[in-house]
Amino acid sequence: MSGILNYQHLLYFWTVAHEGSIVAASKRLHVTPSTISVQLRALEDRFDCRLFDRVGRGLKLTEVGHTAYRYADEIFSTGRELEGFLSDRRPGHVLRLEVGVARFLPTSVAWTLLRSAFTGTELMRVVCRTADSATLVGQLLLHQLDVILSDVPLAPEPSVNLYNRFLGESGVSFFGEPTMAEQCRSDFPRCLERTGVLVPTTGTEMRRNLDAWFARMAIDPMITGEFDDLALMKTAGASGLGLFPVPDFVADVAAAHYGVRAVGRAEGVRERLFAVSAERRINHPGVAAIVEHAAQFFAEAAAPDRLQGRE
């Protein structure tokens, strides 16, 4: 084996592995399936090994193929980073930051972090998309997003490299309409068994954490509403429909905007935030601004007097 590696052959191999079939890869690369088959055979001949096994009408990576795919993924990821690094530094170029926001992430938290990208020194156009995690991951892998803001780390499958950066966390407290909050505060959390409780829908990270907390506390909450729209949940709670959970880092916003008051903390329940990217290194100035701002934001949110004065 000698000479320079043919990166076109490697790209065809990587695309077939990523798309799952030669036909799908040919559509993405706009070449014929036979062209890709010839290139794959040339790459296998060069290294004298099989990269795929045929299973039925499809292809499955061999053990060597899995290793080759990881190397190829690193190579093309680095190439994309270089391309972005050079393109984004052209004089007068307006940077474009594509951000995915997980559907169950509190809007006020997402905005607090995004604001640092809007107000940075770079001229930037920020595009925000809100969707479920699976949809956002798909867009990230297709390089339609630069970063995802999520309340959980995301890892779709072992063969896909995603980098989850932990941004911070805070506790969770229950809030309610002022009169209801005053009546329930002295008997929290037992009051949740006789007072309406509003919670996120099943399957969300906060709901899982709350259900575990209810079980630990031997509480059978009187759930009167489940919501996949957290803003609607807060609005319902502000009307007196029930008590509802709020992460401490947006407690001030909830109290001011909805006119609600803190009842008590769900000890041990944590709300976390992650920035998820397809790149190991952060080269986009907008993503860097979000990550850097997060440390200060969560430090301020964790101040011991955050809940004082609201009750």
pLDDT for residue 222 is more than 90: yes
CA distance 88 to 97: 11
pTM of the model: 0.64
Please provide the DSSP assignment of 134-158 as one string: HHHHHHHHTTS-SEEEESS-----T
Residue with tokens 């990881």: 70
**Identical fold, 95-167+273-301 and 169-270:** yes
Estimate to the nearest angstrom the gap between the alpha carbon of 127 and the chain centroid.
Answer: 15
Nearest Cα to Cα of residue 49 among 70, 63, 59, 28: 63
Residues sharing a CB contact under 8 Å with residue 25, sequence separation 6 or more, in sequence order: 12, 15, 16, 18, 19, 36
In this prediction, residue 158 carries a pLDDT of 62
CA–CA–CA angle 53, 54, 59 (5° rounding): 85
Q: Mean per-residue pLDDT for 184-191?
A: 96
pLDDT > 70? residue 248: yes
The label of the residue with tokens 């099989």 reads: 50
Q: Domain spans of the chain?
A: 7-87, 95-167+273-301, 169-270
Q: How confident is the model at residue 178 (pLDDT cuts 50, 70, 90)?
A: very high
**95-167+273-301 CATH choice from 1.10.150.20, 3.30.1370.140, 3.40.190.10, 3.40.250.10:** 3.40.190.10
Class of domain 169-270: alpha beta
Residue 44, sorted as left (phi over 0), alpha (psi -120 to 50) or beta, turns out to be alpha
Q: Would you say residue 265 has pLDDT above 90?
A: yes
How confident is the model at residue 186, as a pLDDT?
A: 95
- Condensed to tens digits (0 to 9), the pLDDT of residues 59-101 reads 889 999 889 988 888 887 777 666 665 665 555 556 788 999 9
CA 281 – CA 291 distance, rounded (Å): 12
For the record, the structure tokens of 147 come out as: 């970063």
CATH class of 7-87: mainly alpha
The yes-or-no verdict on residue 227 having pLDDT over 60 is yes
Q: Yes or no: say if 278 and 143 are a contact pair by the CB < 8 Å rule.
A: yes
* Beta partners for residue 95, in sequence order: 124
Q: Is the dihedral of CA 161, 167, 173, 174 positive or negative?
A: negative
Which residue's structure tokens are 């063969």? 159
What tokens appear for 13 in the block? 């191999």
The helices-and-strands tally (H runs, E runs) of the chain is 11, 10
Which helix (DSSP H) or strand (DSSP E) does residue 295 occupy? helix 285-301
